[in-house]
Amino acid sequence: MSNVRAQAAHTLYHVVDRGVSLSAALPRYSRDLNPKDKALMQQICYGVLRYLPSLEFYCQQLLDEPLKGKRRVYQFLLYVGLYQLIHMRVPEHAAVGETVNALKAMRAPGLKGLVNAVLRNFQRQRDELEAAATQIDACKYNHPSWLLKKLKRDYPEHWHTIVAQNQAQAPMWLRVNQRQYTCEQYAHLLSKQGIEYSQFADYQDAIKLKKAVDVQKLPEFFAGASSVQDAAAQQAARLLGAQDGEYVLDACAAPGGKTCHILELADAKVMALDCDAERLDKVRANLQRLHLDAELVCAQAQDTESWWQGQQFDRILLDVPCSATGVIRRHPDIKWLRRHSDIDELAKLQGQILDAIWPLLKPGGTLLYATCSVLSEENQEQMKAFFTRHSDAQHSPLHEQDSIAQPGWQLLPGDTDGFYYAKIIKQ
Protein backbone atom coordinates (compact mmCIF):
# COMPACT_ATOMS: atom_id res chain seq x y z
CA MET A 1 0.00 0.00 0.00
CA SER A 2 1.33 3.47 -0.90
CA ASN A 3 2.16 5.98 1.79
CA VAL A 4 0.23 9.29 1.59
CA ARG A 5 3.08 11.54 2.73
CA ALA A 6 5.64 9.80 0.52
CA GLN A 7 3.33 10.16 -2.49
CA ALA A 8 2.70 13.81 -1.63
CA ALA A 9 6.47 14.43 -1.55
CA HIS A 10 6.88 12.78 -4.99
CA THR A 11 3.99 14.83 -6.39
CA LEU A 12 5.38 18.09 -5.06
CA TYR A 13 8.86 17.30 -6.35
CA HIS A 14 7.48 16.73 -9.84
CA VAL A 15 5.40 19.91 -9.78
CA VAL A 16 7.97 22.31 -8.33
CA ASP A 17 11.24 20.91 -9.66
CA ARG A 18 10.06 19.24 -12.85
CA GLY A 19 7.33 21.66 -13.94
CA VAL A 20 4.51 19.07 -14.11
CA SER A 21 1.09 20.61 -13.43
CA LEU A 22 -0.59 19.60 -10.17
CA SER A 23 -3.65 18.41 -12.09
CA ALA A 24 -1.43 15.96 -14.02
CA ALA A 25 0.77 14.89 -11.08
CA LEU A 26 -1.96 14.31 -8.48
CA PRO A 27 -3.81 11.48 -10.27
CA ARG A 28 -0.51 9.85 -11.22
CA TYR A 29 0.83 9.64 -7.66
CA SER A 30 -2.45 9.03 -5.83
CA ARG A 31 -3.51 6.14 -8.08
CA ASP A 32 -3.02 3.42 -5.45
CA LEU A 33 -4.46 5.30 -2.48
CA ASN A 34 -7.90 4.75 -0.99
CA PRO A 35 -10.37 7.68 -1.34
CA LYS A 36 -9.72 9.00 2.18
CA ASP A 37 -5.95 9.02 1.67
CA LYS A 38 -6.39 10.56 -1.79
CA ALA A 39 -8.28 13.45 -0.20
CA LEU A 40 -5.58 13.84 2.46
CA MET A 41 -2.82 13.82 -0.14
CA GLN A 42 -4.65 16.44 -2.18
CA GLN A 43 -5.08 18.61 0.91
CA ILE A 44 -1.36 18.33 1.74
CA CYS A 45 -0.21 19.07 -1.84
CA TYR A 46 -2.49 22.10 -2.22
CA GLY A 47 -1.39 23.33 1.18
CA VAL A 48 2.36 22.96 0.58
CA LEU A 49 2.02 24.78 -2.76
CA ARG A 50 0.08 27.58 -1.06
CA TYR A 51 2.79 28.07 1.58
CA LEU A 52 5.92 27.01 -0.31
CA PRO A 53 8.16 30.09 0.26
CA SER A 54 7.74 30.04 4.04
CA LEU A 55 8.25 26.25 4.19
CA GLU A 56 11.39 26.65 2.08
CA PHE A 57 12.59 29.39 4.40
CA TYR A 58 12.16 27.23 7.52
CA CYS A 59 14.08 24.37 5.92
CA GLN A 60 16.84 26.74 4.86
CA GLN A 61 17.19 27.85 8.48
CA LEU A 62 17.06 24.33 9.91
CA LEU A 63 19.27 22.40 7.48
CA ASP A 64 23.03 22.90 7.16
CA GLU A 65 22.50 22.68 3.42
CA PRO A 66 19.46 21.90 1.24
CA LEU A 67 18.99 18.31 0.08
CA LYS A 68 20.16 18.14 -3.51
CA GLY A 69 20.18 15.80 -6.52
CA LYS A 70 18.61 12.41 -5.82
CA ARG A 71 17.85 13.48 -2.24
CA ARG A 72 15.77 16.44 -3.40
CA VAL A 73 12.47 14.57 -2.98
CA TYR A 74 13.15 14.32 0.80
CA GLN A 75 13.31 18.11 0.94
CA PHE A 76 9.66 18.01 -0.18
CA LEU A 77 8.90 15.44 2.51
CA LEU A 78 10.20 18.00 5.01
CA TYR A 79 7.75 20.57 3.57
CA VAL A 80 4.97 17.99 3.97
CA GLY A 81 5.91 17.53 7.65
CA LEU A 82 6.20 21.27 8.31
CA TYR A 83 2.90 21.99 6.57
CA GLN A 84 1.13 19.49 8.81
CA LEU A 85 2.73 20.97 11.93
CA ILE A 86 1.79 24.54 11.02
CA HIS A 87 -1.47 24.38 9.09
CA MET A 88 -3.24 21.09 9.75
CA ARG A 89 -5.16 19.89 12.74
CA VAL A 90 -2.93 16.86 13.17
CA PRO A 91 -1.48 16.20 16.65
CA GLU A 92 2.15 17.30 16.53
CA HIS A 93 3.58 13.92 17.50
CA ALA A 94 1.56 12.29 14.71
CA ALA A 95 2.69 14.88 12.15
CA VAL A 96 6.34 14.18 12.99
CA GLY A 97 5.91 10.42 13.41
CA GLU A 98 3.99 9.89 10.16
CA THR A 99 6.43 12.03 8.18
CA VAL A 100 9.39 10.06 9.54
CA ASN A 101 7.53 6.80 8.80
CA ALA A 102 7.09 7.83 5.17
CA LEU A 103 10.84 7.35 4.73
CA LYS A 104 10.32 3.60 4.98
CA ALA A 105 8.05 3.68 1.93
CA MET A 106 10.59 5.94 0.21
CA ARG A 107 13.33 3.42 0.98
CA ALA A 108 15.42 6.00 2.82
CA PRO A 109 15.38 4.89 6.46
CA GLY A 110 18.85 6.42 6.84
CA LEU A 111 17.28 9.90 6.75
CA LYS A 112 14.99 9.27 9.72
CA GLY A 113 17.31 11.09 12.13
CA LEU A 114 17.60 14.13 9.92
CA VAL A 115 13.86 14.48 9.20
CA ASN A 116 13.03 13.95 12.85
CA ALA A 117 15.62 16.56 13.93
CA VAL A 118 14.41 19.21 11.46
CA LEU A 119 10.76 18.83 12.50
CA ARG A 120 11.58 18.75 16.23
CA ASN A 121 13.86 21.79 15.89
CA PHE A 122 11.08 23.63 14.08
CA GLN A 123 8.76 22.94 17.01
CA ARG A 124 11.35 24.34 19.42
CA GLN A 125 12.20 27.44 17.37
CA ARG A 126 8.77 28.03 15.82
CA ASP A 127 8.12 31.53 17.23
CA GLU A 128 11.48 32.97 16.15
CA LEU A 129 11.32 31.32 12.73
CA GLU A 130 7.81 32.58 12.04
CA ALA A 131 8.76 36.09 13.13
CA ALA A 132 11.80 36.01 10.81
CA ALA A 133 9.65 34.80 7.87
CA THR A 134 7.31 37.78 8.16
CA GLN A 135 10.30 40.07 7.45
CA ILE A 136 10.51 38.70 3.90
CA ASP A 137 7.64 39.67 1.59
CA ALA A 138 7.71 36.46 -0.47
CA CYS A 139 7.45 34.38 2.75
CA LYS A 140 4.97 36.68 4.45
CA TYR A 141 2.57 36.54 1.50
CA ASN A 142 3.66 33.18 0.06
CA HIS A 143 3.79 34.49 -3.48
CA PRO A 144 6.76 34.78 -5.88
CA SER A 145 8.37 38.24 -5.70
CA TRP A 146 7.77 39.05 -9.38
CA LEU A 147 4.05 38.41 -9.04
CA LEU A 148 3.75 40.43 -5.83
CA LYS A 149 5.46 43.32 -7.64
CA LYS A 150 2.99 43.19 -10.52
CA LEU A 151 -0.02 42.91 -8.22
CA LYS A 152 1.18 45.90 -6.19
CA ARG A 153 1.65 47.87 -9.43
CA ASP A 154 -1.77 47.00 -10.88
CA TYR A 155 -3.74 47.11 -7.61
CA PRO A 156 -2.11 49.56 -5.19
CA GLU A 157 -5.26 49.44 -3.05
CA HIS A 158 -6.44 45.86 -3.48
CA TRP A 159 -3.32 43.71 -3.79
CA HIS A 160 -3.57 42.53 -0.19
CA THR A 161 -7.08 41.21 -0.81
CA ILE A 162 -6.04 39.47 -4.02
CA VAL A 163 -3.11 37.80 -2.28
CA ALA A 164 -5.34 36.70 0.61
CA GLN A 165 -7.92 35.30 -1.83
CA ASN A 166 -5.20 33.41 -3.69
CA GLN A 167 -4.41 31.59 -0.45
CA ALA A 168 -8.04 30.65 0.20
CA GLN A 169 -10.01 27.62 -0.95
CA ALA A 170 -12.21 28.34 -3.97
CA PRO A 171 -15.96 27.77 -3.74
CA MET A 172 -17.67 25.23 -5.98
CA TRP A 173 -20.06 26.78 -8.51
CA LEU A 174 -22.48 24.93 -10.72
CA ARG A 175 -23.88 26.01 -14.06
CA VAL A 176 -27.42 24.85 -14.53
CA ASN A 177 -28.24 23.69 -18.04
CA GLN A 178 -31.10 26.02 -18.92
CA ARG A 179 -32.26 23.56 -21.60
CA GLN A 180 -33.19 21.18 -18.80
CA TYR A 181 -33.85 23.16 -15.59
CA THR A 182 -34.15 26.67 -14.23
CA CYS A 183 -31.86 27.49 -11.31
CA GLU A 184 -34.83 27.31 -8.95
CA GLN A 185 -35.80 23.84 -10.18
CA TYR A 186 -32.25 22.55 -9.93
CA ALA A 187 -31.77 24.12 -6.49
CA HIS A 188 -34.82 22.14 -5.41
CA LEU A 189 -33.22 18.92 -6.66
CA LEU A 190 -30.03 19.79 -4.75
CA SER A 191 -32.02 20.30 -1.56
CA LYS A 192 -33.77 16.97 -2.00
CA GLN A 193 -30.33 15.36 -2.26
CA GLY A 194 -29.21 17.12 0.93
CA ILE A 195 -26.72 19.36 -0.89
CA GLU A 196 -26.62 22.86 0.60
CA TYR A 197 -26.33 25.86 -1.70
CA SER A 198 -26.53 29.63 -1.74
CA GLN A 199 -28.07 31.01 -4.89
CA PHE A 200 -26.85 34.19 -6.52
CA ALA A 201 -29.28 36.21 -8.58
CA ASP A 202 -26.42 38.22 -10.22
CA TYR A 203 -25.17 35.16 -12.02
CA GLN A 204 -28.05 33.91 -14.11
CA ASP A 205 -27.17 30.25 -14.49
CA ALA A 206 -25.01 29.80 -11.41
CA ILE A 207 -25.51 28.13 -8.07
CA LYS A 208 -22.82 28.24 -5.40
CA LEU A 209 -22.56 25.22 -3.15
CA LYS A 210 -21.85 25.66 0.54
CA LYS A 211 -19.41 22.77 0.40
CA ALA A 212 -17.72 21.07 -2.54
CA VAL A 213 -19.20 17.69 -3.46
CA ASP A 214 -18.19 14.93 -5.82
CA VAL A 215 -19.94 15.42 -9.19
CA GLN A 216 -21.26 11.85 -8.88
CA LYS A 217 -23.52 13.14 -6.11
CA LEU A 218 -24.99 16.01 -8.18
CA PRO A 219 -28.56 15.39 -9.34
CA GLU A 220 -28.70 14.24 -12.96
CA PHE A 221 -25.15 15.37 -13.61
CA PHE A 222 -24.53 12.57 -16.11
CA ALA A 223 -27.80 13.37 -17.88
CA GLY A 224 -26.42 16.89 -18.48
CA ALA A 225 -28.45 18.85 -15.95
CA SER A 226 -25.48 20.80 -14.59
CA SER A 227 -21.76 21.43 -14.98
CA VAL A 228 -19.02 22.59 -12.64
CA GLN A 229 -17.92 26.07 -13.70
CA ASP A 230 -16.97 29.18 -11.77
CA ALA A 231 -19.53 31.99 -11.93
CA ALA A 232 -16.97 34.38 -13.46
CA ALA A 233 -16.35 31.96 -16.32
CA GLN A 234 -20.12 31.69 -16.76
CA GLN A 235 -20.24 35.35 -17.75
CA ALA A 236 -18.57 34.57 -21.11
CA ALA A 237 -21.52 32.98 -22.88
CA ARG A 238 -23.95 35.59 -21.53
CA LEU A 239 -21.69 38.48 -22.60
CA LEU A 240 -21.06 36.96 -26.02
CA GLY A 241 -24.83 36.85 -26.49
CA ALA A 242 -24.98 34.33 -29.36
CA GLN A 243 -28.40 34.09 -31.04
CA ASP A 244 -30.19 31.17 -32.68
CA GLY A 245 -28.82 30.42 -36.15
CA GLU A 246 -25.61 32.41 -35.74
CA TYR A 247 -22.18 31.10 -36.71
CA VAL A 248 -19.91 31.27 -33.68
CA LEU A 249 -16.20 30.57 -33.21
CA ASP A 250 -14.85 29.54 -29.82
CA ALA A 251 -11.18 29.85 -30.70
CA CYS A 252 -9.49 28.46 -27.56
CA ALA A 253 -12.21 26.09 -26.53
CA ALA A 254 -10.91 23.21 -24.45
CA PRO A 255 -12.10 21.71 -22.16
CA GLY A 256 -15.29 23.24 -23.50
CA GLY A 257 -16.97 24.84 -20.52
CA LYS A 258 -17.82 27.98 -22.45
CA THR A 259 -18.55 26.17 -25.74
CA CYS A 260 -21.21 24.12 -23.99
CA HIS A 261 -22.66 27.13 -22.21
CA ILE A 262 -23.01 29.01 -25.53
CA LEU A 263 -24.92 26.02 -26.92
CA GLU A 264 -27.09 25.70 -23.81
CA LEU A 265 -28.24 29.29 -24.38
CA ALA A 266 -28.74 29.36 -28.16
CA ASP A 267 -29.26 27.11 -31.17
CA ALA A 268 -26.09 28.44 -32.75
CA LYS A 269 -23.67 26.70 -35.10
CA VAL A 270 -20.44 26.57 -33.11
CA MET A 271 -16.90 25.80 -34.22
CA ALA A 272 -14.81 24.85 -31.17
CA LEU A 273 -11.11 25.10 -31.93
CA ASP A 274 -8.12 24.24 -29.75
CA CYS A 275 -4.50 23.40 -30.47
CA ASP A 276 -4.43 20.54 -27.96
CA ALA A 277 -5.95 17.29 -29.29
CA GLU A 278 -6.17 15.65 -25.85
CA ARG A 279 -7.96 18.64 -24.42
CA LEU A 280 -10.32 18.63 -27.43
CA ASP A 281 -11.37 15.13 -26.37
CA LYS A 282 -12.64 16.72 -23.18
CA VAL A 283 -14.74 19.16 -25.23
CA ARG A 284 -16.17 16.16 -27.08
CA ALA A 285 -16.99 14.39 -23.79
CA ASN A 286 -18.61 17.51 -22.32
CA LEU A 287 -20.73 18.05 -25.45
CA GLN A 288 -21.82 14.44 -25.31
CA ARG A 289 -22.79 14.57 -21.63
CA LEU A 290 -24.82 17.73 -22.25
CA HIS A 291 -26.40 16.41 -25.51
CA LEU A 292 -24.96 19.28 -27.55
CA ASP A 293 -23.15 19.46 -30.84
CA ALA A 294 -20.28 21.54 -32.23
CA GLU A 295 -17.70 21.27 -34.99
CA LEU A 296 -14.34 20.44 -33.38
CA VAL A 297 -11.12 21.65 -34.98
CA CYS A 298 -7.58 20.97 -33.77
CA ALA A 299 -5.31 23.83 -34.91
CA GLN A 300 -3.32 26.85 -33.83
CA ALA A 301 -5.89 29.63 -33.79
CA GLN A 302 -3.49 32.19 -35.26
CA ASP A 303 -2.61 29.86 -38.15
CA THR A 304 -5.92 30.65 -39.89
CA GLU A 305 -4.79 29.52 -43.36
CA SER A 306 -4.57 25.95 -42.08
CA TRP A 307 -8.19 25.72 -40.88
CA TRP A 308 -10.44 28.60 -41.94
CA GLN A 309 -12.69 27.88 -44.93
CA GLY A 310 -13.62 31.52 -45.63
CA GLN A 311 -17.02 31.92 -43.95
CA GLN A 312 -16.94 34.82 -41.50
CA PHE A 313 -18.36 34.43 -37.99
CA ASP A 314 -21.17 36.40 -36.36
CA ARG A 315 -19.51 36.11 -32.97
CA ILE A 316 -16.13 35.02 -31.71
CA LEU A 317 -15.07 34.06 -28.22
CA LEU A 318 -11.33 34.39 -27.61
CA ASP A 319 -10.66 32.82 -24.23
CA VAL A 320 -6.93 33.07 -24.82
CA PRO A 321 -4.09 31.15 -23.14
CA CYS A 322 -3.00 33.32 -20.21
CA SER A 323 -1.07 33.41 -16.95
CA ALA A 324 -4.14 32.10 -15.06
CA THR A 325 -3.25 34.48 -12.23
CA GLY A 326 -6.99 34.89 -11.56
CA VAL A 327 -7.40 31.22 -10.62
CA ILE A 328 -4.41 30.69 -8.31
CA ARG A 329 -6.60 29.51 -5.45
CA ARG A 330 -7.84 26.66 -7.66
CA HIS A 331 -4.36 25.95 -9.03
CA PRO A 332 -1.74 27.00 -6.46
CA ASP A 333 0.97 25.42 -8.65
CA ILE A 334 0.55 28.39 -11.01
CA LYS A 335 2.60 30.50 -8.60
CA TRP A 336 5.59 28.19 -9.12
CA LEU A 337 5.11 27.01 -12.69
CA ARG A 338 4.74 30.49 -14.16
CA ARG A 339 7.84 32.60 -14.61
CA HIS A 340 8.13 36.35 -14.89
CA SER A 341 9.24 36.02 -18.53
CA ASP A 342 6.09 34.03 -19.40
CA ILE A 343 3.91 37.11 -19.07
CA ASP A 344 5.46 39.01 -21.99
CA GLU A 345 5.45 35.87 -24.11
CA LEU A 346 1.80 35.19 -23.32
CA ALA A 347 0.85 38.79 -24.07
CA LYS A 348 2.65 38.49 -27.43
CA LEU A 349 0.79 35.27 -28.30
CA GLN A 350 -2.54 36.79 -27.24
CA GLY A 351 -1.87 39.78 -29.54
CA GLN A 352 -1.02 37.43 -32.42
CA ILE A 353 -4.21 35.40 -31.93
CA LEU A 354 -6.32 38.58 -31.72
CA ASP A 355 -4.82 40.00 -34.92
CA ALA A 356 -5.13 36.73 -36.85
CA ILE A 357 -8.74 36.10 -35.81
CA TRP A 358 -10.03 39.67 -36.25
CA PRO A 359 -10.51 39.41 -40.08
CA LEU A 360 -12.67 36.31 -39.53
CA LEU A 361 -15.38 38.37 -37.83
CA LYS A 362 -18.26 39.76 -39.92
CA PRO A 363 -18.72 43.54 -40.01
CA GLY A 364 -21.17 44.27 -37.21
CA GLY A 365 -20.06 41.08 -35.43
CA THR A 366 -18.97 40.76 -31.81
CA LEU A 367 -15.69 39.48 -30.43
CA LEU A 368 -15.43 38.74 -26.72
CA TYR A 369 -11.87 38.71 -25.40
CA ALA A 370 -11.46 36.78 -22.13
CA THR A 371 -8.64 35.82 -19.78
CA CYS A 372 -8.52 34.32 -16.30
CA SER A 373 -5.68 36.72 -15.54
CA VAL A 374 -5.52 39.73 -13.24
CA LEU A 375 -2.45 41.26 -14.92
CA SER A 376 -2.80 44.43 -16.99
CA GLU A 377 -0.34 43.25 -19.69
CA GLU A 378 -2.80 40.54 -20.66
CA ASN A 379 -5.94 42.61 -20.16
CA GLN A 380 -6.26 46.40 -20.25
CA GLU A 381 -2.90 46.97 -22.00
CA GLN A 382 -3.61 44.19 -24.47
CA MET A 383 -6.91 45.83 -25.38
CA LYS A 384 -5.43 49.32 -25.60
CA ALA A 385 -2.80 48.06 -28.04
CA PHE A 386 -5.44 46.18 -30.05
CA PHE A 387 -7.58 49.29 -30.52
CA THR A 388 -4.59 51.29 -31.72
CA ARG A 389 -3.82 48.59 -34.31
CA HIS A 390 -7.43 48.17 -35.58
CA SER A 391 -9.36 51.28 -36.51
CA ASP A 392 -12.44 49.19 -37.40
CA ALA A 393 -12.71 47.90 -33.82
CA GLN A 394 -15.05 49.55 -31.40
CA HIS A 395 -15.18 48.87 -27.71
CA SER A 396 -18.63 47.99 -26.46
CA PRO A 397 -19.55 48.45 -22.80
CA LEU A 398 -20.36 45.16 -21.10
CA HIS A 399 -22.88 46.67 -18.74
CA GLU A 400 -25.03 49.77 -19.03
CA GLN A 401 -23.09 51.61 -16.34
CA ASP A 402 -19.64 50.92 -17.89
CA SER A 403 -17.55 53.81 -19.11
CA ILE A 404 -16.42 53.75 -22.74
CA ALA A 405 -13.00 55.06 -21.72
CA GLN A 406 -12.13 51.90 -19.76
CA PRO A 407 -12.37 48.93 -22.08
CA GLY A 408 -13.09 45.74 -20.27
CA TRP A 409 -14.31 44.34 -17.02
CA GLN A 410 -11.83 43.05 -14.46
CA LEU A 411 -13.25 40.64 -11.90
CA LEU A 412 -10.97 39.99 -8.93
CA PRO A 413 -10.81 36.68 -7.07
CA GLY A 414 -13.34 36.65 -4.24
CA ASP A 415 -16.84 35.36 -4.58
CA THR A 416 -15.83 34.26 -8.08
CA ASP A 417 -12.50 33.66 -9.82
CA GLY A 418 -10.46 36.51 -11.25
CA PHE A 419 -11.42 37.12 -14.87
CA TYR A 420 -11.22 39.81 -17.54
CA TYR A 421 -13.69 40.46 -20.34
CA ALA A 422 -13.68 42.97 -23.17
CA LYS A 423 -16.33 43.17 -25.87
CA ILE A 424 -15.34 44.45 -29.30
CA ILE A 425 -17.68 45.27 -32.18
CA LYS A 426 -16.44 45.31 -35.78
CA GLN A 427 -17.50 48.36 -37.74
Ligand X SMILES: C[S@@+](CC[C@H](N)C(=O)[O-])C[C@H]1O[C@@H](n2cnc3c(N)ncnc32)[C@H](O)[C@@H]1O
Residues forming the active site: 372
Beta carbon nearer to ligand X, 196 or 278: 278
Beta carbon nearer to ligand X, 37 or 378: 378
User: What is the residue type of 164?
Assistant: A
Q: Is position 250 annotated in a ligand binding site?
A: no
Minimum gap (Å) between residue 260 Cβ and ligand X: 8
Beta carbon nearer to ligand X, 371 or 376: 371
Q: Is position 319 annotated in a ligand binding site?
A: yes
CB 125 within 8 A of CB 132: no
Minimum gap (Å) between residue 104 Cβ and ligand X: 41
Q: 102 Cβ partners below 8 Å, 6+ apart? A: 3, 4, 5, 6, 9, 77, 80
Minimum gap (Å) between residue 397 Cβ and ligand X: 23
Q: Is position 194 annotated in a ligand binding site?
A: no
Beta carbon nearer to ligand X, 99 or 235: 235
Residue in 173, 179, 180, 147 with CA at minimum distance from that of residue 162: 147
Interface residue list for ligand X (CB under 6 A) = 233, 252-258, 273-276, 279, 300-302, 319, 321, 353
Q: Is position 183 annotated in a ligand binding site?
A: no
Measure the N-to-C terminal CA separation of the chain; round to a whole number of Å.
64
User: What is the residue type of 170?
Assistant: A
Which residue(s) pair with 317 in the sheet? 250, 368
Minimum gap (Å) between residue 191 Cβ and ligand X: 28
Q: Kindly report the backbone phi and psi dihedral angles of residue 110, in degrees, each rounded to the nearest multiple of 5, phi listed first.
A: -65, -15
Nearest residue to ligand X, by Cβ distance, number only: 252
Minimum gap (Å) between residue 279 Cβ and ligand X: 5
Q: Rounded to whole angstroms, how far apart are CA atoms 51 and 55?
A: 6
**Helices and strands: H and E segment counts in the chain:** 17, 12
Q: Is position 417 annotated in a ligand binding site?
A: no
Beta carbon nearer to ligand X, 82 or 232: 232
Q: 58 Cβ partners below 8 Å, 6+ apart? A: 82, 122, 129, 133
Q: Kindly report the backbone phi and psi dihedral angles of residue 197, in degrees, each rounded to the nearest multiple of 5, phi listed first.
A: -140, 165
Q: Is position 256 annotated in a ligand binding site?
A: yes
CB 132 within 8 A of CB 61: yes
Q: Rounded to whole angstroms, how far apart are CA atoms 334 and 326?
A: 10
**Annotated binding site, which residues?**
252-258, 274, 319
**Annotated binding site for S-adenosyl-L-methionine, which residues?**
252-258, 274, 319
